[in-house]
């Protein structure tokens, strides 16, 4: 029995080789998993569930549904890029949307899942932005606008975000130790799996005398037409990283 974890694919029509890696994964290794957890930023951005008429989205939705049909339960947790993914997308892909954070069990091991951006508490500018765009009232107002206007607005945010990131110290964009400890304490000191920071690692830490592990998922990449990804696989009680091409 296997359980798979992926995040930060940032799929977009501009990265066809990356989409191909994901398609091969869905048709191949993912079929060995009883459950697949997608921990956010599956897409470069998501403007609303009505934004799916391009070949990228419609093809991927069919392939996710085919994986579910073949017996893999698919769970999606929103990232900071695709938190507008909603019930229509979930129905089309035959997946369930998980609240953040979510506590699951792998055998006897409790495992807490989150995207990871909520842990970056030193990034005060981002946390203020996050609070605003995660408000249901703000999202309702945004989703009420025409798709073209939403895409334009997102392009503007992305430009501003890239400019803001260029002026930030790398350290403030990493997960904060106190935020991690608080989250683990609140959930009974489980193992933690998250993405977002693009700093894949397995950290061993002590919280209130409890030994905990924090697995940070790798981001998927495409450069000069060559793409690669990674899946964290739980099998026989052990977590390990498997490269994807």
Q: What are the residues binding ligand LP5 (CB under 6 A)?
A: 45, 80-81, 84, 117, 120, 123, 125-126, 129, 132-133, 138-139, 142, 154, 157-158, 160-161, 164-165, 168, 173
State which of residues 80, 101, 113, 219 lies at the interface with Mn ion (CB under 5 A): 80
Helix and strand totals (H; E) in the chain: 7, 12
Shortest separation between residue 244's beta carbon and Mn ion, angstroms: 19
Shortest separation between residue 233's beta carbon and ligand LP5, angstroms: 25
From the list Mn ion, ligand LP5, none, partner contacted by residue 160 (C-beta under 5 to 8 A by kind): ligand LP5
Q: In sequence order, what are the residues at sequence separation of 6 or more whose Cβ sits closer than 8 angstroms to the Cβ of residue 236?
A: none
Q: Name the segment binding Mn ion (CB under 5 A); options: 21-29, 40-48, 62-70, 87-95.
A: 40-48
Q: In sequence order, what are the residues at sequence separation of 6 or more whose Cβ sits closer than 8 angstroms to the Cβ of residue 182?
A: none
Shortest separation between residue 125's beta carbon and ligand LP5, angstroms: 3
Element of type H or E holding 216? strand 210-216
Classify 16 as helix, strand or coil.
Answer: helix
State the residue number with the nearest CB to ligand LP5: 125
Residues in contact with Mn ion, shown as a per-residue x/- string from 137 to 176 under the rule CB under 5 A: ----------------------------------------
Q: In sequence order, what are the residues at sequence separation of 6 or more whose Cβ sits closer than 8 angstroms to the Cβ of residue 51?
A: 57, 147, 150, 151
d(CA 61, CA 45): 15
Which lies closer to ligand LP5 via its Cβ, residue 120 or residue 191? 120
d(CA 165, CA 71): 41
Shortest separation between residue 107's beta carbon and ligand LP5, angstroms: 32
Which lies closer to ligand LP5 via its Cβ, residue 137 or residue 238? 137
Which lies closer to ligand LP5 via its Cβ, residue 41 or residue 230? 41
- For residue 76, the cross-strand partners are 38, 97
Q: Is 171 exposed, middle or buried (0-12, 13-18, 19+ CB in 10 A)?
A: exposed
41 binding Mn ion? (CB under 5 A)? yes
């Amino acid at each position: 029995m296997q359980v798979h974890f992926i995040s930060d694919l940032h799929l977009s029509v501009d990265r066809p080789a990356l989409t191909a890696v994901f398609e091969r994964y869905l048709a191949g290794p993912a079929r060995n998993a009883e459950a697949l957890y997608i921990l956010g930023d599956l897409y470069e951005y998501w403007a609303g569930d009505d934004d799916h008429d391009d070949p990228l989205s419609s093809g991927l939705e069919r392939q996710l549904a085919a994986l579910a049909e073949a017996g893999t339960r698919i769970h999606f947790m929103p990232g900071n890029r695709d938190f507008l993914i909603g019930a229509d997308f979930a129905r089309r892909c035959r997946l369930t949307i998980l609240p953040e954070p979510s506590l699951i069990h792998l055998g006897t091991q409790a495992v807490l899942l989150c995207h990871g951006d909520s842990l970056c508490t030193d990034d005060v500018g981002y946390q203020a932005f996050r609070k605003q765009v995660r408000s249901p009232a703000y999202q309702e107002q945004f989703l009420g606008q025409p798709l073209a206007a939403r895409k334009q607005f997102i392009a503007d945010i992305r430009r501003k975000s890239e400019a803001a990131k260029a002026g930030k110290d790398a350290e403030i964009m990493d997960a904060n130790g106190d935020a991690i400890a608080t989250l683990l304490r609140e959930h009974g000191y489980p193992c933690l799996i998250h993405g977002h920071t693009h700093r894949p690692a397995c950290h061993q830490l002590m919280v209130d005398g409890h030994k905990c592990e924090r697995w940070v998922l790798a981001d998927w990449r495409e450069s000069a037409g060559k793409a690669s990804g990674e899946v964290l696989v739980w099998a026989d009680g052990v977590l390990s990283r498997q490269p994807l091409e």
